[in-house]
A and B are shown apart, each in its own frame.
Chain A
Amino acid sequence: MENETKLLAGGMVTLSLATAALVVLPFLQLKNVPPPEGLKPYTSQQLRGRQVYMSNGCIACHTQQPSSTGAGVADSARGWGRPSVAGDYYYDQPVLLGTSRTGPDLFNIGARQPSADWQLGHLFQPRAYVPGSIMPAFPFLFEIKKPGDVAKDERVVALPPGTAPEGRVVVARPEAMDLVAYLLSLNHTYDALTPEQLKYAESRLPPERLKQDKKLEQGGQPAANTKQGESDEKGKADGAKANP
């Protein structure tokens, strides 16, 4: 090759094509997706907690994207919730999808473990709650004090016996309170599809599949807080939404 202009032009053409496919088209396709009705914006405390989540790199081990296909085929059976759809992330800036499940998916951790005491104690010492856990302890989000020194508005963490040092109590720092507020806000158990979208999705499913799903629903998959049938169809449903 002798021509540097051709080289650079070619290089930029290829990159533009990739950018068009992976950035511009998703931008156009998703920019008008509205938030689902059940999704609430974050409070300022939850947003501060989200910052703590990002600062401490929780994303290194936790995803926020349950699925019913691929690697997430067992997610719903584990109680991690229905597959997420684009609208669920309406208020997420930036989105924290994650790529590693060294720990469990947290998209519905607020529904799975709604107790703030559990969350606080688990952050202080995960192994006091989940034997065999390899999550780091976060003692720097807490203070260890004498019971007499606790101020009135401070939260004393209820811990299993033997977790706090003898004669001391563990007090949550504001960062810990914020982080737990964020974790508890991770509750996406509302329906992702409007009734019309559900009907449309069902009309696209083969009848035997629908029958199978009905059976599953009656069989009582207790953890799956999802309308079965929407799951595999979310791609199609997305497409349907984007269609003008």
Chain B
Amino acid sequence: MNPTAILLATFILSIVGLFFFIWSLRKGMFDATSSGARAIFTSGEIGQIEEPSADTEQKQQLQKVTDEHGPDSDSEEGVSPIELSAREEADRSTAYPVYLMFACAALWLVIASFAGLISSLKLHWPDFLTDYAWLTFGRLRTIHLNAVAYGWAPMGTLGLAVWLLPRLLQTPLRGARLVILGVVIWNAGLIAGLGGLAVGINAGMEWLEIPWQIGGLFAVGGMLIGLPMALMIGQRKVHHLYVSVWYMGAALFWFPTLYIVAKVPGVHFGVEQGTMNWWFGHNVLGLFYTPISLACIYYFLPKVIGRPVRSYNLSLLGFWTLAFFYGQVGAHHLIGGPIPEWLATLSIVQSMMMLIPVIAFSVNQHLTLKGHFNALRYSPVLRFIFFGATMYTVSSIQGSFEALRTVNAVTHFTHFTVAHAHIGLYGFVSMVIFGGIYFAMPRVLNIPWPKPALISWHFWLVVAGFATYAVTLSIGGILQGLDMQDPNVPFMQAVAVTIPWLEGRSIGGALMTLGHLIFVYHMALMTLRVSTTPLSSAIAAPQQKAA
């Protein structure tokens, strides 16, 4: 096997495949406006805002922002009651499983936050809580990672997928019980897995620490959650599959495949296991959390401001380039390592190719929101979603350049990577989940958020905390990397230089944790129906515009 040939073959196959899929879907590709982009609006709904988490005044202001720019549509005849009732039926069919998933997500978020915060403190207070094995840094950090990676993030994103797909396909969810069973099995696996990590049962590979005997429950649970979705696509009432459906549909198939291949016992060995490890580690981000979160942005952002996605066909390009390139970037985690050199090169090239879907997405979002930036002042959901979308762009571009050998030489093995991971999984994915939950929960429970002020507190606390986190840790990581590069600097100098920045990270983490507690408290208030707002104003279906 000639490495150059492998390299070229893989790259060319990706490009040819990419063009094939785009060519096969070329119909109407270069139309300025696309009917597909309107699929999430019922007829006549364009130009109407939808923001379940906003109070009455915010809604009026938000509508004003949208009205100023003139409805670009033929929406004078008002919304169709039939289609609206189909949407309500879809919402009702998902209420139970979705509530369960959001509740689990919130619980894991709290556990993950405290595990993360204590781990962070331990890095600058190394003698803090050392007496118990389960509280040692290595175990607590692993618990933090797994509670996020298999608790908060999948429960949040899958919950949003279960909630959105029936809306997008205009078909009520059948088999909600299967979903609930899947969620129970998944969480049982996670409880066992985290308990196992605490007592020291660790399979040894990053992102795959939970042993396959327990992790099998994720595969089973995930398939039970995904199965009703797959069946629903066949029974859909809409002709066009909206861009969100592509991302979610593909992700629901990608995750079980990834997990099963990664966990199949007795196959992987030595360095091959290392490459497989990062094939999985990066794909679980790129082919699971990322696509579902992008799907949510493609739904919520246009929905809130009542304006279809601009340049809809760019999203087609974005989807297929993500699918073809993201899967191959994992080996950039092992640049300089004992892996075949061609593999690192391939991953670096594909990391740079990832700029294409990222730019396609960013252009989509910017054009859609153009002229509507004022809406950010009035819509809490939009704030979270927009922040998430921006961080997707930031973390992806950062990630592409981090793969370059020269940049990688500084950032690899340092805290910079940790900061980067949080810009992706927190700044992007978690913020989108927050925004999505704020949008969906009033529909799930049929009541408004009891204390809208808490949403603002949540937003500003986590934004301040996250900014502190990302900035301090990135700086600390770069300084650490520069010191480690220099053979004349003693290693301990590279440790000492990070301490103030690690302390800064703990402050950021504490603010984020505080924000999460407010969020979970607010969800609890809502669940217990403790509300100051009269419940009757709840079911805020869009009003007849003509009236």
* With A54-B203, A57-B136, A93-B273 already in contact, 19 other A-B pairs whose C-beta atoms are closer than 8 Å: A4-B234, A4-B241, A11-B323, A18-B330, A20-B10, A22-B327, A22-B330, A26-B343, A57-B139, A59-B138, A84-B338, A89-B338, A92-B270, A101-B414, A134-B499, A138-B136, A140-B133, A235-B3, A239-B340
Going nearest first, the 4 A-B pairs with the smallest beta carbon separation are A57-B138, A18-B327, A235-B341, A70-B336
B270 and A132 contact, CB distance less than 8 A: no
- Cβ < 8 Å to B, chain A residues 68-101: 69-74, 77-78, 83-86, 88-90, 92-97, 99-101
A67 and B337 contact, CB distance less than 8 A: yes
The reply on A236 being an interface residue by CB < 8 A is yes
- Cβ < 8 Å to A, chain B residues 100-148: 122-124, 126-127, 130-133, 136-139, 141-142
Q: Are A26 and B241 CB-contacts (below 8 A) given A17-B10, A21-B343, A132-B492?
A: no
A71 and B339 contact, CB distance less than 8 A: no
CB neighbours of B498 from chain A (8 A): 102
The reply on A133 being an interface residue by CB < 8 A is yes
- Cβ < 8 Å to A, chain B residues 176-200: 200
CB neighbours of A140 from chain B (8 A): 130-133, 136
B17 and A13 contact, CB distance less than 8 A: yes
Residue of A1, A71, A243 touching B485 (CB-CB under 8 A): A71
Q: Are A137 and B343 CB-contacts (below 8 A) given A22-B276, A77-B487, A100-B413?
A: no
Residue of A15, A72, A133 touching B254 (CB-CB under 8 A): A15
Residue of B nearest to A125 (CB): B127
Residue of B133, B205, B409, B486 touching A71 (CB-CB under 8 A): B409
Please, how many angstroms separate the alpha-carbon atoms of A26 and B347 in the complex?
13
A89 and B141 contact, CB distance less than 8 A: no
Q: Are A78 and B409 CB-contacts (below 8 A) given A23-B275, A28-B1?
A: no
CB neighbours of A3 from chain B (8 A): 241
A133 and B138 contact, CB distance less than 8 A: no
Residue of A nearest to B492 (CB): A132
**A-binding segment of B64-72, B245-253, B368-376:** B245-253
The reply on B530 being an interface residue by CB < 8 A is no
- Cβ < 8 Å to A, chain B residues 244-299: 246, 249-250, 253-254, 257-258, 261, 268-279, 283, 287
- Cβ < 8 Å to B, chain A residues 140-166: 140
The reply on B516 being an interface residue by CB < 8 A is no
B324 and A14 contact, CB distance less than 8 A: yes
The reply on B415 being an interface residue by CB < 8 A is yes
The reply on B505 being an interface residue by CB < 8 A is no
B413 and A94 contact, CB distance less than 8 A: no
B495 and A102 contact, CB distance less than 8 A: yes
Contact flags A54-72 to B (C-beta < 8 A → 1, else 0): 1111111101010101111
A1 and B246 contact, CB distance less than 8 A: yes
Contact flags A123-135 to B (C-beta < 8 A → 1, else 0): 0001100111111
A-B contact pairs, 9 of them (CB 8 A): A11-B323, A14-B324, A21-B346, A22-B330, A57-B139, A95-B273, A96-B204, A97-B337, A136-B138
Residue of B nearest to A10 (CB): B21
The reply on A6 being an interface residue by CB < 8 A is yes
Smallest CB–CB gap between A191 and chain B, Å? 15
Residue of B nearest to A76 (CB): B487
Smallest CB–CB gap between A68 and chain B, Å? 8
Residue of B21, B240, B328, B415 touching A22 (CB-CB under 8 A): B328
Residue of A30, A67, A73, A85 touching B272 (CB-CB under 8 A): A30
Please, how many angstroms separate the alpha-carbon atoms of A133 and B138 in the complex?
15
Smallest CB–CB gap between A79 and chain B, Å? 10
Please, how many angstroms separate the alpha-carbon atoms of A33 and B335 in the complex?
20
The reply on A12 being an interface residue by CB < 8 A is yes
Contact flags B323-356 to A (C-beta < 8 A → 1, else 0): 1101110110111111111110011000000000
Smallest CB–CB gap between B410 and chain A, Å? 7
A2 and B205 contact, CB distance less than 8 A: no
The reply on B433 being an interface residue by CB < 8 A is no
Please, how many angstroms separate the alpha-carbon atoms of A174 and B379 in the complex?
59
The reply on A242 being an interface residue by CB < 8 A is yes
B127 and A8 contact, CB distance less than 8 A: no
Q: Are A134 and B123 CB-contacts (below 8 A) given A6-B24, A140-B133, A238-B341?
A: yes
A137 and B249 contact, CB distance less than 8 A: no
Please, how many angstroms separate the alpha-carbon atoms of A20 and B316 in the complex?
25
Residue of B nearest to A101 (CB): B413
Residue of A1, A127, A131, A243 touching B25 (CB-CB under 8 A): A1
CB neighbours of B495 from chain A (8 A): 102-103, 132-134
CB neighbours of B133 from chain A (8 A): 56, 140
Please, how many angstroms separate the alpha-carbon atoms of A1 and B130 in the complex?
55
* Max chain A Cβ within 10 angstroms of own Cβ: one of B25, B340, B409: B340
A74 and B485 contact, CB distance less than 8 A: yes
The reply on B362 being an interface residue by CB < 8 A is no
CB neighbours of A131 from chain B (8 A): 492
B250 and A22 contact, CB distance less than 8 A: no
Smallest CB–CB gap between A205 and chain B, Å? 15
A54 and B204 contact, CB distance less than 8 A: yes
- Cβ < 8 Å to B, chain A residues 1-55: 1-4, 6-8, 10-15, 17-23, 25-31, 33, 52, 54-55
